[in-house]
Amino acid sequence: MRKEILYSIILFFPLLIVQTTIVPLIAINGAVPDLIIILLVTFALRNGQMYGTVLGFVYGFLFDVITGSFFGSTMLSKTLEGFIAGYFYNENRLDHNFKSYIFPFIVLLCASVDAVMYTFLTQIDFRSSLLLLLFEQGMLPGMYTSVLSFVVVIFYKRRSSF
Amino acid sequence: MRRIFLIFWESFKEYIVLVVLIVVSLTALSFNQNKAVKNVRAAAFGTFALVTSVVSDFINVAKIKNENEHLAEMNAELMLQINQLRQYGIENRELKSLINLKDSTDYPLIPATIVSKSLTGAQNSLTLNVGTNAGVRPGMPVITDKGLTGIVFSVSDDYSIIRTLKNQNLKLTVKNERSRINAVMKWNGEYLVMINVPKTYDVQPGDRIITSELSSIVPIPIPVGVVVKLNNVERGIFNEVIVKPFVDFIRIEHVFILGIVESRQKNNLELNFYNRK
């Protein structure tokens, strides 16, 4: 368990560097995938709901402090996201979760909830179309993140085939 | 009592932790303007930016060749424009001296490279590789060759965070270059909009929007964007004007910080962006 905690913190920083330097280059129509979500869902599915919730909070805190975003907003959204991802934790179905379409689906769900939550927290002006806003800021980046999360599925499948 | 608590904890620990952490997060939301929090964040992003600057430098090297070609072309175009502007400048100086107007001063430009980008729907911010050591101060405008990019929000010794135009906390007084109409512009999460523009005002798609001299943050005219659409709000007497920014926030890599020394007198009179609580 201690190893797992160490990994989850150590992996966060290089991924945040990639997220803030390289990922903006592959944005499609303003939709930027969130690699931190993939990492959080991975650890939440491996270690359970409590772990996911606390890890989400820690990731959110670090993200807010480091990137200068609205302090507390990412903390809240990532905490919820870790909680939701942890809900799908099942010790007997760990492999199944990672090797099937379930993983990208959970990522999509979490990313959408995260983006919607973040939008609600930081968005004061709802005079523009709310549904469109939720689609553009919630679903689109969520779908993009979900597509990228297939990398984890492929990685797990390959690893187990050796 | 302890046993009851333990049973309760065992049954609902995930929910208890969730509620506690949500309460902590919500409390943190109110600490955004806290000086101690600001200091901690400045130190944290300064350290992190040190690493991201290495990565972004590496990425930038790959792009330099293409950029050089583009810059050479732009250089030629600008040379032609400068010749023309020089003529206008001479005429302008003569005319101003005739009517005894105070001339605008020179503003120092601090070149900077973007080392990381935090692009979220409502709170876009960029980290630059210059800080207080280079003379950067919170509240300074950040520009590119295309126009206004944002405002410096937080500064450490060697790095700074800017809030771009696509950040809800940045509200700017702008004006229509053609009809000279002033309005407040802000990011609504989807578009840049000039709000509360009376329907009778002369604003048309294609009009260039520049910063207004009424602004306490950017007192000189800098291009901001172009009007793309008028949202004819059915009720009321005001319109919303949708503006497309000149700067492409996803692609920009290099910016300049306008080293404007803020007028303390003016700052005390007006509540500018940086002083906003």
Tokens of A76: 């809240």
User: Shortest Cα distance from A69 to chain B (angstroms)?
Assistant: 6
- Answer whether B117 touches A (CB < 8 Å): yes
Q: How far does chain B reach from its first CA to its final CA, in angstroms? A: 45
Flag whether pLDDT at B43 surpasses 70.
yes
Report yes or no on A24 lying in a domain.
no
Position A143 scores a pLDDT of 86
Q: How confident is the model at residue B101 (pLDDT cuts 50, 70, 90)?
A: low
Radius of gyration of chain B (CA): 23
User: Shortest Cα distance from A120 to chain B (angstroms)?
Assistant: 10
Given a contact cutoff of 8 angstroms between Cβ atoms, the answer to whether B189 and A128 are in contact is: yes
Residues of B in contact with A75 (CB under 8 A): 21, 24-25, 28
The SS3 of residue B46 is helix
Higher pLDDT, B233 or B61: B61
Residues of B in contact with A73 (CB under 8 A): 29, 123
Position B214 scores a pLDDT of 81
Position B106 scores a pLDDT of 65
User: Shortest Cα distance from A98 to chain B (angstroms)?
Assistant: 23
Where in the sequence is the domain holding A156, given as residue range(s)? Answer: 2-19+32-161
User: Tell me: the pLDDT tens digits for B21-40?
Assistant: 988 888 888 877 777 777 77
Q: How many CB atoms lie within 10 A of CB B74?
A: 12
Choice among A13-27, B90-104, B199-213 with the minimum mean pLDDT:
B90-104
Residues of A in contact with B22 (CB under 8 A): 76, 79-80
B255: which residues sit within 8 A by CB, 6+ positions away? B111, B112, B113, B114, B126, B128, B142, B143, B144, B149, B162
Residues of B in contact with A121 (CB under 8 A): 29
Q: How confident is the model at residue A54 (pLDDT cuts 50, 70, 90)?
A: very high
Tell me what the mean pLDDT of segment B37-62 comes to: 77
- Answer whether B244 touches A (CB < 8 Å): no
Tell me what the mean pLDDT of segment B233-247 comes to: 81
Position B202 scores a pLDDT of 84
Contact assignment for A71 to B59 by CB distance below 8 Å: no
Residues of B in contact with A71 (CB under 8 A): 28-29, 31-32, 37, 41
Position B273 scores a pLDDT of 54
d(CA B120, CA A116): 11
Given a contact cutoff of 8 angstroms between Cβ atoms, the answer to whether B162 and B152 are in contact is: yes
CB pairs under 8 A between A and B: 153
Closest residue to A50, CB basis, from B17, B117, B240: B17
Tell me what the mean pLDDT of segment B216-223 comes to: 81
Position B272 scores a pLDDT of 53
User: Shortest Cα distance from B183 to chain A (angstroms)?
Assistant: 17
Give the count of domains, chain A.
1
Q: Over the range B219-252, which residues count as b (16 or more CB within 10 Å of their CB) and which as e?
A: bebbbbbbbeebeeeeeeeebbbbbebbbebbeb
Report yes or no on A26 lying in a domain.
no
Residue with tokens 């973040």: A118
Residues of B in contact with A80 (CB under 8 A): 18, 22
The SS3 of residue A128 is coil
Residues of A in contact with B191 (CB under 8 A): 128
Q: How confident is the model at residue B269 (pLDDT cuts 50, 70, 90)?
A: low
> Between residues 223 and 242 of chain B, which touch chain A (CB distance below 8 Å)?
240
d(CA B257, CA B162): 10
User: Tell me: the pLDDT tens digits for A120-144?
Assistant: 766 655 555 667 766 766 678 888 8
Domain assignments of chain B as residue spans, ordered by start: 1-30, 31-277
Report yes or no on A148 lying in a domain.
yes
Q: How confident is the model at residue A40 (pLDDT cuts 50, 70, 90)?
A: very high
Position B235 scores a pLDDT of 67
- Chain A residue whose CA is closest to B160: A68
Residues of A in contact with B244 (CB under 8 A): none
Residue A10: give its domain's CATH number: 1.10.1760
Closest residue to B26, CB basis, from A69, A72, A118: A72
Closest residue to B25, CB basis, from A67, A76, A119: A76
Burial of B145 (0-12, 13-18, 19+ CB in 10 A): middle
Contact assignment for B45 to A68 by CB distance below 8 Å: yes
d(CA B224, CA B166): 12
Contact assignment for A69 to B188 by CB distance below 8 Å: no
Closest residue to A53, CB basis, from B21, B56, B59: B21
Topology of domain B31-277, per CATH? Thrombin, subunit H (2.40.10)
- Answer whether B261 touches A (CB < 8 Å): no
Higher pLDDT, B19 or A94: B19
